[in-house]
Structure 1
Amino acid sequence: MADAFTFSITTTPFNEDYTPSESSRITTNFANLARGENRQENLRNALTMINRRFNSLAHWDNPEGDRYALELEIVSARVHFTSDGEERQFPLLEVLDTSIVDRKTGARSHGIVGNNFSSYVRDYDFSVVLPAASDGSGAPALPENFGNLHGSLFQRFLDSEAYRRRFAQLPVICISVSTSKTYHRTGNSHPALGLEYQQDDHSLTDAYFGKMGLRVRYFMPPGSVAPLAFYFRGDLLTDYTNLQLISTISTMETFQKIYRPEIYNANSAAPAVYRPSLGAQDFSRTLISYDREERSRLGVTQGRYTEEHFIAPNRELLDQWAAAYPTPVA
C-alpha cells in the first residue's frame, strides 16, 4: 500500500508562444489568456507586467528598473497506480515554477515552485462533493473527511522521488484573500512581502490547505493595494530569499490584477481593517482580456470528469489508501 501511488512531472514553458494543451488543468487560470485573436498580445502584456513588477520590488542596484526577467514553466504532475490489475494514471495538479534571470550578471537562479495552484481533485471536492452535501434541512454542510484524500495525495507528492529530484525547496502557493473575511493589519512588516495582515477567523480554504500540510500568512507587498494569501510549509520568511519571494509576488499579483481587478487593481490601498469585495467600483481594468466565466465553468466540468474517471472507478482503493495514510494537518 505504501507504493500504491507514484508520481511523474512534466513541464511546459509559459511564454508568449505558449498554446494551452487540451488536457491542461491550468486552462482555468493563466492559460485562457492564450486563446483567441489576442492570444499572443495577452501573453506578452502579462509577462511584461510580471517583469515590471519584479523590478519595481527588486529596486536595489537596479537604477534602470530592468535588471531582472522572470521565466515561467507550468509544472504538471500525474499520479500513477494499479487498479483491478491495470496500470492507470490521472492528472493530479499543476503549479507554476519561476526562474530569475539577472541581466546584469548573466546569472540564472531558481525562484519558487507553486504560485498558482490547480487540481482536478480539488475541483471535485468543491464543485461536486461540497454542493451535494447538506445537513438534512437543505442547508450546506461540510462533508465528513472533506479534503482528506486531496491532502494526502498532495503531501505524498511533495515527499515523492519525482518532486525531490526536481525541486530542492517546498512550494509556496499564493492566492487571493477571501471576500467573506475581514483582515486586520498588524505591526509586522517584511522588506519584500510588505505589511502583514491577520484574518478574523480561518476559512474553509485555510482548512483545506491545512490538510495539504500548508499554513497561511497574509501580506500586502510594497506598492500593492490588497494583501495576498501565502500558503507554505516551513518558514515563509527564512526559507526563501527576497528575490524568490518577489518572483511569487510579481507573478501572482499580476494574475490577480487581471482576474480580480476589483480587489488587486483598486484605485486605493486596503485600510488597516479590510474586507475585500468583488462589488467594488473604484478600480481600473487591465488591457488584458480574461474569461472569468470560463474559469468557473471549467472547475465544474473538471470536477465531474474527476468523479467519473478517477474517484468512482477507484473508490475502494482510494478509501483504503486514505485510511492507511491519514492526513497530517498544518
Structure 2
Amino acid sequence: MVSCEPGYMIDNISQGVFECNNGTWSPRPYCSITARCSLSVLKNFFNNDSQFTGIRVVMQHIIANPNENDLALVGSWISFACTTDYTFLNGNLNVSCHADGQWSSFPKCTVESIQGISGPCSWTDDLLTVPNSHKSNTTNLKVFTNGNAYGYYDIECDPGYELDPTIGRRITCLQSGNWSKPLPVCRSMGACLMSDLLEFIQTAEGMRINQSLNFVFTNSITDDRALGGSNITVQCLNGYINVGGPLLIICTEASVWTPYPRCISISTSTLALTSDSTTISDSMLMRCGVTDDTWQFTNGYISNTTNMLVYNDNTAAGRSIHKY
C-alpha cells in the first residue's frame, strides 16, 4: 500500500495498491498535489488594524511543506476569540484552509454595549453548564436579582481538556433573548510522552524524519508531553522498507502514539506474514523484479507491506494468499 506525503492525495484508480500479479507489477500509484492557501492572506489579516481589532489567536495548526514558501496545506486552521469588551459579530472564529485553496471568512468582533443591545436572557447559577470547564472572563456579564442577564462570558477548559476551536469559548446573550448556541465543548485532548517518541527515533534503524512534523505542547515548559493530534512523518532510507505501523506517527486521544513503523533492509529478509493462520505460499507466486526505484514514489511512500514478500535475489511477490 502506498500513502502520500502531507499535501498530496493518492490517485483514484490504484487507491494506493501496488502489487505483483503473476510476475507483473500493477500500475504504479501516484500522488497528486492538493490545494494550498496563501499564508500572506492570513498575515495581511493579522496586520490590518481595522480588521484584527478586538481579536486574539487562541490556537493554530498550520501544516506546511518545508520546501514551499508562504503556503499552507489543506486542513490547516487557526482559532480566534474576541478580546475583552468585544463580541463576535460575523465570519468564522475557526478559520481553515479549504480544498478550493481559500481560507474560510475571517471573524469580525465589535465593541458591545452590555445593556440595551443584548437580551435580556434568563439566568440561573447552574445554567449553561459546559462539562469539564469553568467560567472565566465574566466582566461583561451582568446578572440582576430578577433573573435577567445581559452580555457574555467565556469558559476555560479544565486541565486535561481542550476547547473545540470550531465553536469557541464565548457564550453570548443575543438580541433575541436566547443564549448563543452551540455551547462550547471541552474534549479530552490526550497527551503523549515525547521521551517515548524521541527514544524510538534515536534507536530506529534505516529510518529518517522527512521534515513534516506538527507538535502542539502544553503551556508548561516542564511537561514532557505533546497534545493529541501532534504528529511526525518518517520515511525508510533507500534499501529499506516499512513492515510496521504507519509512517505518519500521531498522538491519539488515548494518550498513546500510533504503532511505530519498522524499517528493515529489503535485501536481508522476508518482509511480511499476515497472521498465525494465514501465510503467503512461496511456491504459488510468480515473482516481479525489484530495483532501488521500485519502492520510490514521488511525494509518497510504502506504508503497508502486508502480503508482500521480498527475496535476496532482488525479486518480490505478493497478494496471493494460502490459508491452511
TM-score, scaled to structure 2: 0.24
Q: Which has the higher strand share?
A: 2
The structure with the largest alpha-carbon Rg is: 2
Q: Which has the higher helix share?
A: 1
TM-score, scaled to structure 1: 0.24
